[in-house]
């Protein structure tokens, strides 16, 4: 299976082509950036596809991160993924950012719980807690950091994500300290591809996965308070 993976959820713009029959990624590129994903993504995808030697029509699937993450960044990546898939007449799938952060750790079957955490700003985090075997301990949610730290009850965790250090710095003094702190600005694009190859397209839609409403809201229409005539 040939998979084009795209990630613009956080502070990177990344793409990769995975060839499952070859056992790995055959081309990839990632650029660190906080903004500017819209301008950078399509040229980056073009370079990755050229380096892979794979035509868009030869792809079996397109995968993209669905969030949590930057509202604008997510829409850039998902729009590109859906557009490419539509043009190539291929399935498009989505994988959550928290799942991608946790996947390489869970794949090692660690005995330690895994906490994937993303900075949600305003002293909140998006987080998910998994057992070392991949079992769900706390479903994805957004919460104050103090509430997320209740996950210390599961034992010394492997912290991963762009809020890993933030969580570690406020870890309860009376709890076992984190087993490992894996601060990452963005998930590994190779794992976006591998998860994209594994999921069912019917149950993994390529649409934004929001755990709360975006901070930026459209301005209220000046016409919104105008009385409307009754429907005829």
What is the tens place of the pLDDT at every residue in 9-27? 999 999 999 999 999 999 9
* Residue 148, C-beta contacts closer than 8 angstroms, at least 6 positions apart: 115, 117, 125, 127, 167
Neighbours of 143 (CB within 10 A): 17
Buried b (16+ CB within 10 A) or exposed e, 112-142: bbbbbbbbbeeebbbbbbbbbeeeeebebbb
* Residue 169, C-beta contacts closer than 8 angstroms, at least 6 positions apart: none
Positions of the chain with pLDDT lower than 50, given as ranges: 216, 218-232
pLDDT at 223: 41
pLDDT at 215: 53
pLDDT at 231: 41
Tokens 């005995």 correspond to: 111
């Amino acid at each position: 299976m040939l998979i084009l993976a795209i990630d613009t959820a956080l502070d990177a713009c990344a793409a990769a082509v995975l060839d499952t029959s070859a056992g790995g990624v055959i081309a990839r590129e990632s650029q660190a950036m906080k903004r500017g994903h819209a301008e950078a993504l399509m040229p980056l995808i073009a370079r990755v596809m050229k380096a892979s030697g794979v035509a868009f029509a030869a792809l079996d699937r397109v995968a993209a991160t669905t969030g949590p993450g930057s509202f604008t960044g997510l829409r850039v990546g998902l729009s590109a993924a859906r557009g490419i898939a539509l043009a190539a007449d291929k399935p498009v799938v989505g994988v959550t950012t928290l799942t991608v952060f946790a996947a390489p750790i869970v794949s090692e079957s660690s005995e330690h719980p895994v906490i994937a955490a993303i900075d949600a700003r305003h002293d909140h985090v998006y987080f998910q807690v998994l057992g070392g075997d991949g079992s769900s301990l706390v479903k994805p949610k957004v919460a104050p950091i103090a509430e997320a730290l209740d996950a210390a009850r599961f034992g010394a965790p492997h912290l991963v994500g762009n809020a890993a250090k933030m969580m570690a710095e406020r870890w309860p003094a009376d709890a076992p300290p984190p087993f490992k702190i894996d601060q990452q600005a963005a998930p590994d694009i190779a794992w976006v591809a591998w998860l994209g190859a594994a999921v069912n397209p019917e149950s993994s839609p390529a649409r934004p996965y929001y755990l709360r409403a975006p901070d930026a809201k459209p301005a209220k229409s000046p016409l919104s308070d105008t009385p409307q005539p009754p429907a005829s």
